[in-house]
A and B are shown apart, each in its own frame.
Chain A
């Protein structure tokens, strides 16, 4: 299959691993910030293939995991209203809120529907004029253009019963936060390929220069990630700190300009709370004032709440790459995909779920 098979080629992969082994002379710590990339690394055992001096840690790249608890609770509140139809991506249904999750609300009679894209929510709004349709618009920059399109279309069509509960997050501020932390061990970043398909990689250049850290935009197949790792290690070994692009078949420096224009039209940057991490300034997107009629927070007059999350699951440390899922006392015992304590175990793109699915026997002498 085009664009995929060549990038899963075992011979190519082995060649890249051998090249890495030749290049690396000392330990390096690398981080990827994309749930999809985390899963590929685990699924194909890339961390077991590469030389042991290279340590891979997983960053807060799962859009489900970092969605703030307050947003989940707000979505649950809305879904429980008798005249509201809540439309969401499937994964969000299983994320634990403060007391329950959307799947249980659905089982209890709430009108909760799964969609593959926000355009489906628009269709539902058109078909059910007597109900209020709310789309749970979460994600990184990757899903923002589609959400922007949906809101823009809703306004163009003059829909009176459609709104979006927005909780977008941006990658570069997260990298800035991680690099500014006194505890940071990460020396090189793999930038997320689909985020950069939309945004380009210009924004990463100032980060790379300011913090003297190499950043390589990577794809999602095993060979993509091995190439990106190889490029990072080359830079580190040579003492360079630049932004390079491995995922050239999808990413350009400027990115997708029409998509960015639409995002700019509908959204503005704001402070955003990341679940488990806390507030990162200027790290989110919200709807502009002109689109207040489509902002679920305004339409339903949702109050801003702060929810206390008692300490048991260590998602925060996992999301920042400070701990591995297997280092959590609850991993695989109190916390499993069937009974998740935290978002990284729920989401198909979460680090804990990846470790649980592919690697949980690793502890037992594998």
Chain B
């Protein structure tokens, strides 16, 4: 393992080693998602059942994209 001055300084200060990223590269993240998609063969039956439950019980979806100004933006600029 390569020596890292930053990790050494963290250690001297009593801190823990900097956490490793969950995905070392974008390619690794992409491959993880492709593998998972192939593993489940797309949307699972359980997810489809949840979606059917949603469509049956919730009638006010409002998730479709709307490109005009929204009147529910009640908060002003920070």
The reply to whether chain A is a binding partner of chain B is no
Chain B residues proximal to chain A, CB less than 8 Å: none
Interface positions of A (Cβ within 8 A of B):
none
